[in-house]
Amino acid sequence: MKRLVILLGMLGVVFLPPFVLADDLAGAIKQLDTKSYSKKVKAVNAIGEIDDPRVLDVLLALREGQLYIHKGNKNFVIGRGESSEGLVRIVDAVTGEKLDDIASGALSKIKINNRVRGAARTAISKIQLSAKDKSTRLNAVRNLIKSPDDKLRDLIVAALDNEENSEVIKGLNVALAFIDINSNDKKLRISAIEVLGETVEPRAVTILQDILSKDEEGNSEEEDSEIIRSAEKSLEKIESRTSLYEFIKNLFFGLSLGSILLLAAIGLAITFGVMGVINMAHGEMIMIGAYTTFFVQQLFPNWVGGSILLSIPLAFLASGLVGVVIERTIIRHLYGRPLETLLATFGVSLILQQLARTYNSNNVPVKAPDWLSGSWHINSVLEFNYVHMYIIVFSLIVLAVLTLVLKKTYLGLQMRAVTQNRAMANSMGIRSSWVDALTFGLGSGIAGIAGVALSQIGNVGPNLGQGYIIDSFMVVVFGGVGNLLGTFFGGVSLGIVNKFLEPQVGAVVAKIIVLVFIILFIQWRPRGLFALKGRFVED
């Protein structure tokens, strides 16, 4: 019912001239210009009653301390962060119109205390809970769960009456339970305990543990045995569900790390795995891809969503081209001398890093498009970032395309011919030197593509490549050289092992353990997980 009213109100916005509403808001907002906090509370309550989509902005700004009065014209403005010149970016609070940046000294902040903040909070929750958009309502519920406030109980109960979406209802019930758990009514408490038992909120665990806690003599602090029993049951439920979700979470983050490792290593699987060339500048090929993303974004500053897609082929070309040049000018002279190749490509890596540093010694900002930001929130334990989900998918696509290129294209056929028997391939008219250059270019280009993806999850700067080089080699060596399937399993399994170790021992120690494990593993199976077997392998 209430939503219907809001709907009508919003229709009204369309038909009525906006200044009428703006006047309403403009009138109410003026009441905030007072020293008395109780008057401010009243003003907030009045503003909360206005049916206007801009009210929310004003209240949020007030709560965040971003609502100001312009000292010159006494208009209300909302601060929107600092500009590059150190001025405050502002918009008009009533009209929403963008105004010229202004020095912070020309603004006076609307000061609030806890009571005002509470009033703003109630008003905000009320508006959000009655929003038409489901995700806004869900966000509001999540905030209520995060910081329960018994003053909002009536609001929640009212919202429950009007709510139709089951997910929101569930959330509201939990929010209610967090309030009712402290109630004096035993029935309410028990039902709250039961509701909490269906969640995985870490705070529910703390509350339930508090109920179950015992004093020094071993007596329960809670007197009611029924409540104790039901708390025990709920706690057990939460804990078993949480451990399941924790497992899924570790698995997801493991897969995510694995796909990152896979992306970083997959180009190396070509240059090192197929060609046997040690390319210590592989990390810098990734870096070039990441910088390409940055430059494309500089060219199309208003087209972040699409420019990242454009970056993928461009990064492939950029890194691939650099790869071909490195192969033609340096590596070509060093075939059959792997240790020297290692040193020379390390030199390339130093120079490329230093070039990036000469351009800009700091990290460069790469923006994330809207469709990559945000996450899929399932509950307080499980939350999947879109960017990580996309990277998992992306890495699999890259792997699949690469496999197809190797297996189905003429270039792939030539590559395999040259790596298996160079002399024979030459005598059949394959120009092996060009195949070498293209293969190396392919491996480098794929590293560039990886760079586009990795620019979305980490810093893009001169040191980006160094962070990946050792891991990439470990993945390829662990998986088995010359074997894309091995690289896939190598990356994914190392990622998962790492993420399952992390909660036990911490990130750094987990990484050390994985490194030591690989070092030992290589002793046991020097050819990696998926070793090629055969007479000629050893020679």
Partner 1 sequence: MSAEGSILYLSGVTKTFDGFKAINNLSLYIEPGELRAIIGPNGAGKSTMMDIITGKTRPDEGDVLFKNSIDLTKHDEADIANIGIGRKFQKPTVIESLSVWENLELALAGKRSVLDTLFYKLSKSQADRVDEVIDLIGLQQRRNETAKNLSHGQKQWLEIGMLIIQDPELLLVDEPAAGMTDFETMQTAKLLKNISEDHSVVVVEHDMDFVKALDTRVTVLHEGSVLAEGSLETVSNDERVIEVYLGR
Partner 2 sequence: MLKDSLLQRLVLSDQGSKFTIAALIVIGVIVPFLNLAMPEGSFLHVSDYSVALIGKYLCFALLALALDLVWGYCGILSLGHGAFFALGGYAMGMYLMRQIGDRGVYGHPELPDFMVFLNWDALPWYWYGFDNFFFAMLMVMFVPGLLAFIFGWLAFRSRVTGVYFSIITQALTAALSLAFFLNDFGFGGNNGLTDFKDILGASLQSNGTRAVIFICSVIALIGSYILCRYIVTSKLGRVLISVRDAESRTRFIGYRVEHYKVFVFTISAVLAGIAGALYVPQVGIINPGEFSPLNSIEVVIWVALGGRGTLYGAVVGALVVNFAKTYFTGSKLFVEYWLFLLGAMFILIPIFLPKGMVDIVDQWKKKHAQSKATEVNSKISGDAQEHTS
User: By C-beta, is 429 or 534 nearer to partner 1?
Assistant: 534
DSSP one-letter code for 273: I
Query: Does residue 330 bind partner 2 (CB under 8 A)?
Result: yes
Residue with tokens 């009033």: 119
Please give the C-alpha separations between residue 119 and each of 42, 53, 108, 387, in angstroms, as whole numbers.
9, 18, 21, 36
350 binds, options partner 2, partner 1, none, Cβ within 5 to 8 A by partner type = partner 2
Query: Does residue 350 bind partner 2 (CB under 8 A)?
Result: yes
- Distance from C-alpha of 335 to C-alpha of 252, rounded to nearest angstrom: 41
Q: Single out the residue of 275, 402, 289 nearest to residue 341, CA to CA.
A: 275
CB of 527 to partner 2, least distance (A): 9
CB of 520 to partner 2, least distance (A): 7
Helices 202-212, 166-180: axis angle to 10 degrees equals: 30
Query: Does residue 337 bind partner 2 (CB under 8 A)?
Result: yes
330 binds, options partner 2, partner 1, none, Cβ within 5 to 8 A by partner type = partner 2
Query: Does residue 7 bind partner 2 (CB under 8 A)?
Result: no
User: By C-beta, is 259 or 349 nearer to partner 2?
Assistant: 349
How many other C-beta atoms lie within 10 A of the C-beta of residue 86?
A: 9
Instruction: Pick from 56, 205, 317, 342 the residue near partner 2 by CB under 8 A.
Output: 342
User: By C-beta, is 424 or 512 nearer to partner 1?
Assistant: 424
CB of 530 to partner 1, least distance (A): 13
Contact set for partner 2, span 498-537 (CB under 8 A): 508-509, 511-512, 515-516, 518-520, 522-524, 526
How many other C-beta atoms lie within 10 A of the C-beta of residue 524?
A: 6
Query: Does residue 351 bind partner 2 (CB under 8 A)?
Result: yes
User: By C-beta, is 440 or 530 nearer to partner 1?
Assistant: 530
User: By C-beta, is 187 or 535 nearer to partner 1?
Assistant: 535
User: By C-beta, is 432 or 463 nearer to partner 2?
Assistant: 463
- Distance from C-alpha of 74 to C-alpha of 106, rounded to nearest angstrom: 10
278 binds, options partner 2, partner 1, none, Cβ within 5 to 8 A by partner type = partner 2
14 binds, options partner 2, partner 1, none, Cβ within 5 to 8 A by partner type = none
- Distance from C-alpha of 107 to C-alpha of 201, rounded to nearest angstrom: 41
- Distance from C-alpha of 479 to C-alpha of 494, rounded to nearest angstrom: 10
Q: Single out the residue of 277, 268, 273, 371 nearest to residue 328, CA to CA.
A: 277
CB of 339 to partner 2, least distance (A): 5
Instruction: Pick from 21, 94, 227, 278 the residue near partner 2 by CB under 8 A.
Output: 278
Contact set for partner 1, span 474-533 (CB under 8 A): 533
Give, for 264, the enclosing helix (H) or strand (E): helix 225-268
- What is the token pair recorded at 414? 């030539």
User: By C-beta, is 39 or 511 nearer to partner 2?
Assistant: 511
**341, 277 contact by CB (below 8 A):** yes
Q: What does 410-458 look like in DSSP terms, one character per residue?
A: HHHHHHHHHHH-HHHHHHTT--HHHHHHHHHHHHHHHHHHHHHHHTTTS
- Distance from C-alpha of 231 to C-alpha of 225, rounded to nearest angstrom: 10
**138, 167 contact by CB (below 8 A):** yes
Q: What is the total count of residues that contact partner 2 (CB under 8 A)?
A: 39
Q: What is the total count of residues that contact partner 1 (CB under 8 A)?
A: 3
User: By C-beta, is 217 or 538 nearer to partner 1?
Assistant: 538
User: By C-beta, is 35 or 533 nearer to partner 1?
Assistant: 533
User: By C-beta, is 355 or 411 nearer to partner 2?
Assistant: 355
CB of 495 to partner 2, least distance (A): 17
Please give the C-alpha separations between residue 100 and each of 19, 77, 97, 448, 459, in angstroms, as whole numbers.
22, 11, 10, 41, 32
Per-residue binding string, partner 2, 463-492, x by CB under 8 A, is -------x--xx--x---------------
Contact set for partner 1, span 165-184 (CB under 8 A): none
HEC string of 330-387?
A: CHHHHCCCHHHHHHHHHHHHHHHHHHHHHHCCCCECCCCCHHHCCEEECCCCCEEEHH
CB-count burial class (<10 Å; 0-12, 13-18, 19+) for 103 = exposed
User: By C-beta, is 393 or 516 nearer to partner 2?
Assistant: 516
Q: Which residues bind partner 1 (CB under 8 A)?
A: 533-535
Q: Which residues bind partner 2 (CB under 8 A)?
A: 278, 330, 333-334, 337-344, 346-351, 353-354, 357-358, 470, 473-474, 477, 508-509, 511-512, 515-516, 518-520, 522-524, 526
